[in-house]
Amino acid sequence: MSEKRLSKKPLIKENCELKNTELGKFTEIGMLNFFENVKFGDYSYTGQFCFIQNAIIGKFSNIAAMVRIGPTDHPMKRPSLHHFTYRRKMYGFDDKDDFEFFEKRKERKTYIGHDTWIGHGAIILPEVKIGNGAVVASGALVTKDVAPYTVVAGIPAKPIKKRFDEDVIKKLEEIKWWNWSYEKIKQNLDDFLLDIELFVKKHY
Residue range 90-117: mean pLDDT, rounded: 95
Would you say residue 1 has pLDDT above 70? no
Would you place residue 4 in the very low, low, confident or very high pLDDT band (cuts 50, 70, 90)? low
Beta bridge partners, 163, equal none
**Encoded amino acid at 54, one letter:** N
* pLDDT of amino acid 3: 61
Share of the chain above pLDDT 90, in %: 95
Q: How many CA atoms lie within 13 A of 174 on its CB side?
A: 11
The residues that are catalytic are 74
* pLDDT of amino acid 8: 86
Q: What is the pLDDT of residues 47-102, one digit of tens each?
A: 999 999 999 999 999 999 999 999 999 999 999 999 999 999 999 999 999 999 99
Domains of the chain with bracketed CATH: 11-70+108-163 (2.160.10.10), 165-204 (no CATH)
Cα–Cα distance, 162 to 152 (Å, whole number): 9
Q: What is the pLDDT of residues 13-30, one digit of tens each?
A: 999 999 999 999 999 999
Would you place residue 193 in the very low, low, confident or very high pLDDT band (cuts 50, 70, 90)? very high
